[in-house]
Amino acid sequence: MTPNIMGIFKTLPFEAVERIKQLGHRVRLARTRRGWSIAEVAAKAGINRNTLSALELGKPGVAISAYVTVLWVLGLERTLDGVAHPDADTHGKALEASRRPTRVRKAQKSKDEYDF
Chain segment 35-79, per-residue pLDDT in tens: 999 999 999 999 999 999 999 999 999 999 999 999 999 999 999
CATH number of the domain enclosing 19: 1.10.260.40
Model confidence pTM above 0.85:
no
Q: Is 33 exposed, middle or buried (0-12, 13-18, 19+ CB in 10 A)?
A: exposed
Calpha distance 25→31 (Å, rounded)? 10
Q: Do 56 and 27 touch, CB atoms closer than 8 A?
A: yes
Does residue 112 fall inside a structural domain? no
Does residue 116 fall inside a structural domain? no
Question: How many independent structural domains does the chain possess?
Answer: 1
Q: Do 77 and 68 touch, CB atoms closer than 8 A?
A: yes
Does residue 95 fall inside a structural domain? no
Residue span of the structural domain in which 21 resides: 1-80
